Amino acid sequence: MIESKNNLEKLEQIERGKRIKNIRENELHMNKTQLAKEIGVSSQFLGLIENGKGNLVYKSLKKLRNLSGHSSDYILFGIDDNAISRTKKILAQYSETEIIEAMKLLNNIAIFIKNQ
């Protein structure tokens, strides 16, 4: 059990490194030295991160998030930040009361489906 959890965490770390490398190369068009300087790490450490052998600390993650425009959820977990921003835009059209009532309705639907 612990070994499979460690393997999953290692795979997540590798995927996270690939996302960071992709952001650096294809979106920010920076080399390792440039991005490393911007986020406050050494280029060697950034290389380790991109190869799935290290993790960013909060301060560096926050700088990368601000620099890239991606959410922390995307950088860390690959969660589509376009879906998050689209959802926020849709929800902005409704009052807090309407959103709460809709959530109650969704919960009731989920319970109904689960009991079928």
Q: Are residues 52 and 73 in the same domain?
A: yes
Q: Are residues 61 and 97 in the same domain?
A: no
Q: Are residues 89 and 33 in the same domain?
A: no
Cα dihedral 31→19→14→53 (10° resolution): 30
Q: Please give the chain's pLDDT, 116 residues, in tens.
A: 667 778 989 999 999 999 999 999 999 999 999 999 999 999 999 999 999 999 999 999 999 999 998 999 999 999 887 777 788 889 999 999 999 999 999 999 999 999 98
Q: Are residues 68 and 29 in the same domain?
A: yes
Q: Are residues 69 and 89 in the same domain?
A: no
Q: Are residues 5 and 54 in the same domain?
A: yes
How many domains are contained in the chain? 2
Distance between CA 108 and CA 1 in Å, rounded? 34
pLDDT of residue 1: 66
pLDDT of residue 98: 95
pLDDT of residue 53: 96
Q: Are residues 41 and 93 in the same domain?
A: no
Query: Which structural domain, as residue segments, surrounds residue 101?
Result: 80-116
State the angle between helix axes of 32-39 and 58-68 in degrees (0 to 180), rounded to the nearest 10: 120
pLDDT of residue 85: 77
